[in-house]
């Protein structure tokens, strides 16, 4: 009884709040009402086990992994909410996911997990909130101690894409590279492991850990900045390192860490750009087959992108943009499939992997499904890696198709930008990016947040690897292209960007239907037994579609853009649908006209819905900034040009405001007098590091900062003069 009272006190309740029956039973089971499962190594909460994961369809109320089941299908058999009553869905409760670090609303990109009436929600930096899944009342929250200036090392903000709950523990990676095991009952830290091999480099961790047998595995991000990809496995109970698998070789002169690296080195030039790490980072979702005991890993893009800079004599460059099947006991490679040998377009294979069974040639096949950036939908035998099907699901011009015998792409020479600029489909954003697709194993249909967009690629004359500087050796442009290159798109399909929700038959390799979504970054998908496909959008809605036809049944106005994938679960006979809303992450720091974040503050929220729920409270209205009178500075044209270049390299990745976009970060073209006075102290000295604005004094000189000052002042003067002429400047002129 004493233990029960202590457990209830740990669940910090608001006065008058009601503990859901499932959550109460969980608390009861953890005290003395019934003994906890013997296989549970932790406190008794978060009781996810191998047997339970294999039986998810018999207990559909739970959502035990980021993708619900071991196959990560993001399909739920629940059907209390269906096409006939979805119009009655409204808000049940919300949780404001305010970051504990810095002053920016960071994007939310993960899918929560629900186990025995408790929701475990990941947040920015690697935070975790445990909540009563029926009421939203907090159980506990864990916020890692992360230096906010670490944001400088990442491409896309301190986002997090998932956690694992397993046998009483919650496993999550922090943005600065620690794998943390938390007690699922209390949120107390059990152990932590440093996953980075070199903290002087721009490694970050944004992906979800993956439990695979007796280990938990985590990868890392940072390939665009020049790091070497790898994954590391840790003992579930102690955090002791079990093995590490590199995805690309290091300099052969230093030897090879494991046999696979010696084999991979033969596919690289002996004089490759080893000092740049070469890329291949694992930042997306992995998957694990507990029957075959195989861990499936998708690897990332090259560094630098142009192969003539990183591996001058060419080669496949294993194991870039590949799907790897790894024995989790030994950490050894069982098979691999490379989607783009010798890739040069940032076509990662880190998009979510789904495991299922489909019928091919009248017999069931256990398969792996992936729709990576390169625009082809792959169906592989997950025991052997044999290619069973690969068809383009969006416009593709980098290849003429996939050879069904060799499994290799048929290259299109017109996509090679070594000697001249080229326009290529898909863009580096991909035909499908990290926002997860879903798959209904009952119907055999996949639902993809797809994108059609071309990209203009140009090779630079030089490549000089500089740590903490991204995207070296090339330049690329999103549509619309600069006027002098517009002719390169003549005769091509619509260069976009165009997004759409796509229903795809993987076995037949054909599209069933599509729903246009505009040009912005929309969310992942959920498919349910109620014949529903659910997706959040950039314009700030949660849309319910009929899964067999694509017809929109219901749309809920959120006021917050959505990039994450929704999920659904059931507590006490009530079905809930949850989604993390809050724009941010890759490309998400720029809010285009028409997006929800352009109209409302991009407050991060976890929103949960049910039948007969209420309206969603809207965030505060976005304040469109006006331009203060610029400082009196004698501008120098050469400094303006140099400042524009430096700003593009070091600053624009976060401060993406433009005439057409707002930004999650301060618009540096509209600084007031106080900001200008502290400009050098902030940019060079890191005076605002506590808010996530790291100093760049090790990369920029005082003259560089002066050049950036000239560029920003010229932009501020242009804006102020235009607003003054229109009568919208702050002083009313």
Query: What's the confidence (pLDDT) of residue 519?
Result: 76
- Mean predicted confidence (pLDDT) in 76-83: 98
Q: Where are the domains of the chain?
A: 637-726
> pLDDT band at residue 461, thresholds of 50, 70 and 90?
confident
Question: What is the rounded average pLDDT for all residues in the chain?
Answer: 89
- Mean predicted confidence (pLDDT) in 134-158: 87
> pLDDT band at residue 469, thresholds of 50, 70 and 90?
confident
- Spatial separation of the C-alpha atoms in residues 565 and 587, rounded to whole Å: 17
| Lowest pLDDT segment from 1-5, 513-517, 623-627 | 1-5
Kindly state the percentage of the chain with pLDDT values over 70.
Answer: 91
- Spatial separation of the C-alpha atoms in residues 100 and 423, rounded to whole Å: 42
Read off the pLDDT of residues 594-617 as tens digits, 9 standing for 90 and up. 677 678 877 889 999 999 999 999
Checking if the pLDDT of 15 tops 50, the result is no
- Mean predicted confidence (pLDDT) in 411-435: 97
- Mean predicted confidence (pLDDT) in 388-394: 98
- Mean predicted confidence (pLDDT) in 8-17: 40
Checking if the pLDDT of 7 tops 50, the result is no
Query: What's the confidence (pLDDT) of residue 586?
Result: 44
Residues known to be catalytic: 346
- Mean predicted confidence (pLDDT) in 17-27: 44
Checking if the pLDDT of 8 tops 50, the result is no
Tell me, what DSSP letter sits at residue 340?
S
Tell me, what DSSP letter sits at residue 469?
-
Read off the pLDDT of residues 161-207 as tens digits, 9 standing for 90 and up. 999 999 999 999 999 999 999 999 999 999 999 999 999 999 999 99
- Mean predicted confidence (pLDDT) in 418-434: 97
Checking if the pLDDT of 217 tops 80, the result is yes
Query: What's the confidence (pLDDT) of residue 607?
Result: 98
Query: What's the confidence (pLDDT) of residue 19?
Result: 44
Tokens of 525: 């998908």
Tell me which residue of 440, 621, 351 sits closest to 76, measured CA to CA.
Answer: 440
Identify whether the C-beta of residue 551 lies closer than 8 Å to the C-beta of residue 543. Answer: no
Helix (H, G, I), strand (E, B) or coil at 557: strand
Domain 637-726 has CATH 2.30.110.10: no
| Lowest pLDDT segment from 28-42, 306-320, 346-360, 453-467 | 28-42
Helix (H, G, I), strand (E, B) or coil at 216: strand
Residues with Cβ within 8 Å of 272's Cβ and at least 6 positions away in sequence, in order, are: 278, 310, 311, 312
Is the pLDDT higher at 663 or at 539? 539
Residues with Cβ within 8 Å of 191's Cβ and at least 6 positions away in sequence, in order, are: 180, 181, 238, 239
Which residues, listed in sequence order, are joined to residue 298 by a DSSP beta bridge?
A: 323
- Spatial separation of the C-alpha atoms in residues 40 and 631, rounded to whole Å: 64
- Spatial separation of the C-alpha atoms in residues 628 and 674, rounded to whole Å: 11
Checking if the pLDDT of 587 tops 90, the result is no
Checking if the pLDDT of 301 tops 90, the result is yes
- Spatial separation of the C-alpha atoms in residues 233 and 245, rounded to whole Å: 9
Query: What's the confidence (pLDDT) of residue 31?
Result: 38
Query: What's the confidence (pLDDT) of residue 103?
Result: 55
Query: What's the confidence (pLDDT) of residue 274?
Result: 96
Read off the pLDDT of residues 396-410 as tens digits, 9 standing for 90 and up. 999 999 999 999 999
Query: What's the confidence (pLDDT) of residue 573?
Result: 96
Please state the separation of Cα 338 from the chain's center in Å: 21
Is the pLDDT higher at 631 or at 320? 320
Kindly state the percentage of the chain with pLDDT values over 90.
Answer: 70
Checking if the pLDDT of 42 tops 70, the result is no
- Spatial separation of the C-alpha atoms in residues 515 and 518, rounded to whole Å: 10
Query: What's the confidence (pLDDT) of residue 731?
Result: 53
Tokens of 239: 């955090």
């Amino acid at each position: 009884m004493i233990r029960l009272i202590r457990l209830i006190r740990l669940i910090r309740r608001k006065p008058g709040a009601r503990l859901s029956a499932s959550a109460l039973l969980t608390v009861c089971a953890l005290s003395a009402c019934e003994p906890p499962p013997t296989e549970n190594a932790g406190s008794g909460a978060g009781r996810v086990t191998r047997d339970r994961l294999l039986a998810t369809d018999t207990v559909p109320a739970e959502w035990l992994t980021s993708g619900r089941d071991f196959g990560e299908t993001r399909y739920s058999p629940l059907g209390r909410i269906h096409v006939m009553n979805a119009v009655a869905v409204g808000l049940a409760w919300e949780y404001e996911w305010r970051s504990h670090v810095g002053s920016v609303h960071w994007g939310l990109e993960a899918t929560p997990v629900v186990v025995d009436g408790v929701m475990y929600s990941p947040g920015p930096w690697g935070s975790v909130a445990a909540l009563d899944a029926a009421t939203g009342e907090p159980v506990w929250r864990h916020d890692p101690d992360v230096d906010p200036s670490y944001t400088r090392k990442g491409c896309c903000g301190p986002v997090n894409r998932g956690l694992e709950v397993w046998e009483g523990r919650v496993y999550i990676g922090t943005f600065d590279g620690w794998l943390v095991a938390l007690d699922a009952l209390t949120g107390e830290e059990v152990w932590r492991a440093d996953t980075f091999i070199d903290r002087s480099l721009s490694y970050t961790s944004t992906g979800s850990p993956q439990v695979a047998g007796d280990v938990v595995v985590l990868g890392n991000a940072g390939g665009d900045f020049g790091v070497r990809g790898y994954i590391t496995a840790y003992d579930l109970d102690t955090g002791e390192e079990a093995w590490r698998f590199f995805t690309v070789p290091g300099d052969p002169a230093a030897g090879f860490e494991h046999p696979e690296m010696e084999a991979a080195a033969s596919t690289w030039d002996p004089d490759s750009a080893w000092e740049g790490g070469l890329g291949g980072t694992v930042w997306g979702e992995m998957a694990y087959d507990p029957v075959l005991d195989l861990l499936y890993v998708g690897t990332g893009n090259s560094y630098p992108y142009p192969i003539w800079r990183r591996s001058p004599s060419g080669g496949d460059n294993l194991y870039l943009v590949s799907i790897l099947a790894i024995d989790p006991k030994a950490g050894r490679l069982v098979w691999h499939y490379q989607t783009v040998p010798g890739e040069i377009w940032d076509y990662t294979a880190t998009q979510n992997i789904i495991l299922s069974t489909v019928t091919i040639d009248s017999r069931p096949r256990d398969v792996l499904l992936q729709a990576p950036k390169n625009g082809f939908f792959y169906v592989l035998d997950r025991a052997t890696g044999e290619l069973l099907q690969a068809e383009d699901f969006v416009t593709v011009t980098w290849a003429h198709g996939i050879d069904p015998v060799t499994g290799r792409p048929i290259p299109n020479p017109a996509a090679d930008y070594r000697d001249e600029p080229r326009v290529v489909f898909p863009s580096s954003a991909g035909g499908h990016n990290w926002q997860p697709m879903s798959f209904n194993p009952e119907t055999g249909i996949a639902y993809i947040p797809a994108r059609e967009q071309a990209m203009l690629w140009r090779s630079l004359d030089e490549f000089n690897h500089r740590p903490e500087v991204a995207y070296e050796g090339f330049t690329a442009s999103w549509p619309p292209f600069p006027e002098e290159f517009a002719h390169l798109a003549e005769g091509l399909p619509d260069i976009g960007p165009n997004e759409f929700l796509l229903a795809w038959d993987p076995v037949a390799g054909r599209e069933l239907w599509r729903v246009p979504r505009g040009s912005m970054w929309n969310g992942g998908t959920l498919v349910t037994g109620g014949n529903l496909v659910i997706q959040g959008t950039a314009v700030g809605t949660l849309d319910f579609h009929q899964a067999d036809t694509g017809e929109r049944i219901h749309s809920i106005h959120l006021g917050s853009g959505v990039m994450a994938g929704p999920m659904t679960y059931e507590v006490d006979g009530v079905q809930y649908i949850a989604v993390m809303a809050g724009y941010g992450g890759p490309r998400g720091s720029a809010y285009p006209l028409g997006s929800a974040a352009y109209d409302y503050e991009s407050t991060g929220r976890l929103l949960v819905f049910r039948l007969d729920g209420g309206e969603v409270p809207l965030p505060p209205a976005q304040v469109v900034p006006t331009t203060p009178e610029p400082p009196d500075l004698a501008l120098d044209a050469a400094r303006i040009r140099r400042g524009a270049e430096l700003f593009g390299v070091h600053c624009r990745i976060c401060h993406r405001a433009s005439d057409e976009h707002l930004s999650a970060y301060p618009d540096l073209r509209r600084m007031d007098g106080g900001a200008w006075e502290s400009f050098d102290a902030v940019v060079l000295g890191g005076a605002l590091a506590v808010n996530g604005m790291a100093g760049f004094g090790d990369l920029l000189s005082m003259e560089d900062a002066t050049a950036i000052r000239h560029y920003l002042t010229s932009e501020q003067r242009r804006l102020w003069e235009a607003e003054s002429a229109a009568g919208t400047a702050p002083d009313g002129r």
